[in-house]
Amino acid sequence: MTAAPAGRPRTARWLLRLHRPALIVWACLVVALAALLLALRGPLTDAAAEGWRQYNACQGRGRCTYDQDAILRYKDFAGYANLALNALPVLVAAWAGAALIGRELESGTARLAWTQSTSPARWLTLRLALPAAAVTVGTGLLCRLHRLAWAAGDGRIDTAKRWYDLLTFNAGGPTVAALALAGLAAGTLAALLLRRTLPALIAGAVATLGIAGAAALLMPRLWPAVTLTSALDEDYPNVDGLVVDQGLVSATGARLPIPDCDTGAGCSAAYDRAVGYFTTYHPVSHYWPLQLTTTALLLAVTGLLAAGSFLALRRLTGPLRTAGAAAGTPSTDTLAGAAA
């Protein structure tokens, strides 16, 4: 009656000891980035906004002074924050492939654990549970702070990135948190398939970059876009948003691609068929629909990668059972098969 309650605290303490170095590094990274984002939301944004106010007031007045250093400082630190948050999923994938799973498989300590009181499936679950929670909480906090920092400068700083800038879009919502979980699963799967630390590190990072690239390509098409048209004697409709497509419109309403005007004949023929221009784009009101649909897609990919990890683990271990899960101990043949 008392064994189960006592086992849970022991398991929690064991997980904390197991992941303590990585948790300390992760906590320091999150705190450092949080401090940077809070500075961006407050004094850095205020100083840059004042610098831009001074600069705009100078227009038409000839020589005057403005705080250029504050403007450049904001631009640099905002760029660093964007790059850091977008790099987190790759770092998570590399750590999962190398230190979390790959190193234990390469050294043989994982197989030793499987012969004791932990089944392979439970071993993998325990190793992923706490990192997944830490990644979710940490990236979720940073995404919220990034969104607040960006909103503080929106409309006040002329060089601030727009919401549809890819790095800004990813860092300001749950997309990067979902991508970090996908990186954790990708690194785990790479380690289980390769069973070597360095190859798993590289494969996990490359796979995460591939997932991020695919998500960026699919993201504009995950939610219906808005189309605006203009007459042929005008230019393309002026929009403030994420442009998906542009081209010409024929008299029947058909959309024509932008013509190749390197050859005069082809260009003239294309414009002879057209009566106007069109622009398909996502306005700012589509920000959260795009964020949520992209996050859902990435979480689905994470689920597939996690399922693949358990399948790869089962293939690696075969019918291996622990002493606590079945009567007796694993057979010599089973352990030999796992080692092979």
Q: Following DSSP, what letter does each residue of 251-285 receive, concatenated?
A: TTS-EEPPP-TTSHHHHHHHHHHEEEEEEEEE-GG
Long-range contacts of 19-27 (CB under 8 A, 24+ apart): 19/130, 19/131, 19/134, 22/95, 22/99, 22/100, 22/131, 23/130, 23/134, 26/134, 26/135, 26/138, 27/138
* Amino acid 262: pLDDT: 67
Q: Are 279 and 255 in contact (CB under 8 A)?
A: no
Angle, alpha carbons 112-330-123 (nearest 5°): 45
How many whole angstroms separate alpha carbon 167 and alpha carbon 81? 10
Per-residue pLDDT of the chain (340 residues; tens, 9 = 90+): 444 455 556 666 777 777 788 889 999 999 999 999 999 999 999 999 998 888 888 876 667 788 889 999 999 999 999 999 999 999 999 999 888 888 888 887 778 777 776 788 888 998 898 899 999 999 999 999 999 999 999 889 988 899 999 999 999 999 999 999 999 999 999 999 998 889 999 999 999 999 999 999 999 999 999 999 888 888 888 888 999 998 888 888 888 887 777 665 667 777 778 888 899 999 999 999 999 999 999 999 999 999 999 999 998 887 555 434 443 444 434 433 444 4
pLDDT value at residue 238: 86
Say if residues 293 and 223 touch (Cβ distance below 8 Å).
yes
**Within 13 Å and on the Cβ side, how many CA atoms surround 21?**
4
What integer pLDDT is reported at residue 232 of this predicted model? 84
